[in-house]
Amino acid sequence: MAWMSWTLPTALFFIGIAVILVGMTTWQLVSPCVERRGFLPLATTRGDRLFIGLLSSAFIHLAFVALTDVNIAVATVLCAFWMIILMRWG
Amino acid sequence: MQTKVENNKAWFLVLPVFLIVAFSAIIPLMTVVNYSVQDIFDPYTRYFVGTEWFKQVMLDSRLQEALLRQFIYSFTIIIIEVPLGICVALMMPTKGRGASLALILVAIPLLIPWNVVGTIWQIFGRADIGLFGAFMSSIGVDYNYASDPTDAWLTVVLMDVWHWTPLVALLCYSGLRAIPEVYYQAARIDQASRWAVFRYIQLPKLTNVLIIGVLLRFMDSFMIYTEPFVLTGGGPGSSTTFLSQALVQQAIGQFDLGPAAAFSLVYFLIILLVCWVFYTTIMNMQKDK
């Protein structure tokens, strides 16, 4: 695995993604979700909202990095709130 | 009465594909993420730099220009190839030997490898030995794709149109053949004009294949590398340097693995976003139907 040049932050990032995927799969098995419409302009499943949330979070992080000098942790906290809002009301 | 037994055994059939994708895409992508946060001098000397490369590549004017060029290129070829593909499909014969011959002729450009397409157009566009170059010279146009950015763009766009319009044409042709004859009979009874038949029967029935065509052409043109690389090498200057070529220059030419990895991830996110928008649009259109 050394050839992959792992670092602690990237390892934590991928562990986080893996935990989210396993968690979402378990959630789906325990209580299958129904497609619904929230504030997003399209009907979405739980997985759709997760994907939209992760993709938009990536762009929010990029915008923070490119346009501001604010610590990236601020973007992460904002994205965490955004994910909660999206999953609950999206 | 429900007789269908639900189980998840089919997932095991997907397992080989998952393993192949893991080795060919997921693990390399994870490695790229790891590279993007480090300054790598050699396999044993590397330093964590956080988000520094991301800031650098997103503020890099060369990459911004390459991104703009890429969008202009992709939209230009779609605007040309889709209407042209529809026209070609409408003009192709539908029955007899002529139909088979037309299908073969139209499909030929699709069978030619990308680097060969680049070479063909490299020769074709030369004023001394190429037909296209000689033709332009004979009508008094000072055409030289190697030194003039406009000519280079014209040639790259023409090359793509020549290479990939057949794909749109074949998709449209198959879509047109799937329209039941009763629609045309109804149109004849109503004495509909040729334009009305196209506007109210053929075009609505082609919507799905056109979306697939646009999606395929956008994705493919957004990742284009070989043809412009062989034809113009990204020049003159950097006028035809698209994203993938800028990326290769950075990663392999300059061996800046960290910035190149960060750039790849930004590139990947843009493609992912566009794919998602297209996919969602297609799925919603099918639901509406």
Confidence class for position B23, pLDDT limits 50, 70, 90: confident
Q: Which residues in chain A are closer than 8 Å to B269, comparing Cβ atoms?
A: 55, 58-59, 62
Q: Which residues in chain B are closer than 8 Å to A7, comparing Cβ atoms?
A: 34, 37-38, 48
Identify the closest residue of chain A to B60 by CA–CA distance: A66
pLDDT at B160 over 80: yes
- A41 vs B: CB within 8 A: no
pLDDT at B289 over 70: no
Identify the closest residue of chain A to B26 by CA–CA distance: A14
pLDDT in tens, A11-62: 999 999 999 999 999 999 999 988 889 999 888 999 999 999 999 999 999 9
Cα distances (angstroms) measured from residue A89 to each of A40, A82, B68: 8, 10, 35
CA distance, residue A81 to nearest chain B CA (Å): 21
Least confident of B140-149, B150-159, B161-170: B140-149
Say what the pLDDT of residue B71 is: 92
pLDDT in tens, B172-214: 999 999 999 999 999 999 999 999 999 999 999 998 899 889 8
pLDDT at B1 over 80: no
- A32 vs B: CB within 8 A: no
Domain ranges of chain B: 61-244+272-288
Confidence class for position A88, pLDDT limits 50, 70, 90: very high
Say what the pLDDT of residue B165 is: 95
Task: Kindly provide the ipTM of the predicted complex, given to two decimals.
Answer: 0.92
Cα distances (angstroms) measured from residue B170 to each of B19, B39, B111: 33, 47, 13
- A9 vs B: CB within 8 A: yes
Q: Residue B38: enclosing H or E segment and its boundaries? A: strand B38-42
Query: Among candidates A1, A43, A51, which has minimal Cα distance to A21?
Result: A51
Identify the closest residue of chain A to B273 by CA–CA distance: A55
Instruction: Give percent of chain B with pLDDT exceeding 90.
Output: 55
DSSP H helices, chain B, are 10-21, 27-36, 52-58, 61-91, 96-111, 114-124, 131-138, 149-177, 181-189, 194-197, 203-222, 226-231, 243-248, 257-288
Say what the pLDDT of residue B5 is: 62
CA distance, residue B34 to nearest chain A CA (Å): 6
- Give backbone dihedrals phi and psi of A19, rounded to 5 degrees, phi first: -60, -45
CB contact under 8 Å between A3 and B54, yes or no, is no
CA distance, residue A46 to nearest chain B CA (Å): 15
Stretch B74-84: mean pLDDT: 95
pLDDT in tens, B62-75: 889 999 999 999 99
Domain B61-244+272-288 coded CATH 3.40.640.10: no
Say what the pLDDT of residue B141 is: 87
Residue B179 is classified by DSSP as: S
CA distance, residue A84 to nearest chain B CA (Å): 21
Q: Pseudo-torsion of CA B192, B193, B199, B200, nearest 10°?
A: 0
Domain ranges of chain A: 2-89
Query: Mapping DSSP to helix (H, G, I), strand (E, B) and coil, where does residue B30 land?
Result: helix
Contact between B164 and B220 (Cβ < 8 Å): yes
pTM of model > 0.90? no
pLDDT at B109 over 90: yes
**How many whole angstroms separate alpha carbon B181 and alpha carbon B82?**
24
pLDDT at B3 over 80: no
CB contact under 8 Å between A65 and B58, yes or no, is yes
